[in-house]
Amino acid sequence: MFDFASISKNLAEGNQPKVRELVQQALDRGLSAKEILDEGLMGGMSIVGEMMERDEIMIPEVLAVAQFMGAVIDEMLKPLLLEEDMNPYGKVVFATVKGDLHDIGKNLVIMMLDGAGFDVIDLGIDVPPKTIVDAIRENNPKMVGLSALLTTTMPMIEKTIDTIQDSGLRDQVKIMVGGAPVDQGFADEVGADGYAPDASSATKLAKGLLN
Ligand code: B12
């Protein structure tokens, strides 16, 4: 039985050489990339998420862990995940809405989704509704993620959802919304399918909505 918890623990502690060594050991023992991702790396990000909730870790450290996890996935697991045909959750189009330049939270959510096996198309910041509609048409995603960090850009989430609706694409996608000023009440009010307060619950939400 492989000690996946030690991958999680070392990832959360930022011990990068040890994480690489353990992931390589797991691969050498013939464990699947998906197992290593779900049991080891995602466990580490859950620990980091909990530390964030308790204010025990600073944002730059969180970003460093998330970026490192992305690098391990890219360099060590991605080719195998593709071979294993592990993209079980399909495509997600993600954007910070028009008028809003905040992307740290969006990028964290994207990294977690990426790590969990979603194929995320990141449209970036300050994204107008039409660009999002065009991206849905082009990429045929199962889900759209919208982020807003300002009370002044929250209405742009509603405008974006309305534009998706008016374009006749609403039934094709689930829509999840988030960002510091957003809450469940707002999500219900604007007709989103779901809201999550942070990156690890966003991943759970996305899996739940698509199951
Ligand atoms: C960093 C920051 C900036 C940086 C952004 C850099 C960047 N690349 O993102 C800069 C300096 C550019 C900036 C600019 C401004 N900012 Co600013 N900024 C912040 C700050 C300090 C941190 C935001 C952050 O990154 N948090 C960390 C991340 C990890 O958290 P998060 O974004 O909330 O994301 C998490 C969740 O919300 C959730 N989530 C996020 N998106 C999504 C999406 C989905 C689908 C889901 C499910 C979940 C989800 O998961 C994330 C991870 O756990 C906040 C204060 C704060 N504490 O929030 C102010 C804050 C958001 N900013 C504020 C303001 C006022 C501004 C400016 C207007 C300032 C100015 N006068 O110019 C400009 C606006 C620029 C613009 N048009 O967007 C105010 C907003 C007030 C309000 N009520 O609207 C805040 C609250 C500060 C304050 N207390 O006044 N800002």
Please determine, for residue 209, whether its predicted confidence score (pLDDT) is greater than 60.
Answer: yes
CA–CA separation, 210 and 174 (whole Å): 8
- One-letter identity of residue 35: E
Distance between Cα 21 and ligand 1 center (Å): 36
Two structure tokens written together for 91 = 């495509």
pLDDT at 85: 54
Q: How far is CA 187 from CA 52, 108, 176, 182, in A?
A: 23, 20, 8, 7
Ligand 1 atom closest to the Cα of residue 108 is: 52
Using alpha carbons only, give the angle 141, 150, 166 rounded to the nearest 5 degrees: 40
The string of pLDDT tens digits covering residues 107-139 is: 889 988 987 889 999 999 999 999 999 999 999
Given a cut of 70, whether residue 170 has pLDDT beyond it is yes
Regarding predicted confidence, which is higher, 88 or 205? 205
Q: Which atom of ligand 1 is found nearest the CA of 148?
A: 41
Which residue's CA is minimally distant from atom 30 of ligand 1?
105
Six token digits for residue 120? 């995320």
Q: Which of 59, 111, 149 to mutate to test the pocket of ligand 1 (most atoms within 8 A of CB)?
A: 149
Contacts of 30 (CB under 8 A, 6+ apart): none
Ligand 1 in contact with 105 (CB < 6 A)? yes
Q: Is the pTM of this model over 0.85?
A: no
Q: Provide the pLDDT for residue 155.
A: 98
Q: Which atom of ligand 1 is nearest to the CA of 153?
A: 84
Determine the average pLDDT of the residues in 58-85: 83
88: confidence class by pLDDT, cuts 50, 70, 90: low
CA of 177 to the centre of ligand 1 (A): 15
Atom of ligand 1 nearest to the CA of 181: 83
Q: What backbone torsions phi and psi does residue 140 show, to the nearest 5 degrees? A: 55, 55
Find the helix or strand (DSSP H, E) in which 121 lies.
strand 119-122
Q: Please give the Cα distance from 72 to 37 (Å, whole number).
A: 10
Query: Does residue 181 line the site of ligand 1, with CB under 6 A?
Result: yes
Pocket flag, ligand 1, residue 101 (CB < 6 Å) = yes
Say if ligand 1 is within 6 A of residue 102 CB.
yes
Give the lowest-confidence range in 9-13, 82-86, 184-188: 82-86
Residues 25-70: tens digit of each pLDDT: 999 999 998 889 889 998 998 899 899 889 999 989 988 998 898 8
| Residue 107 pLDDT | 87
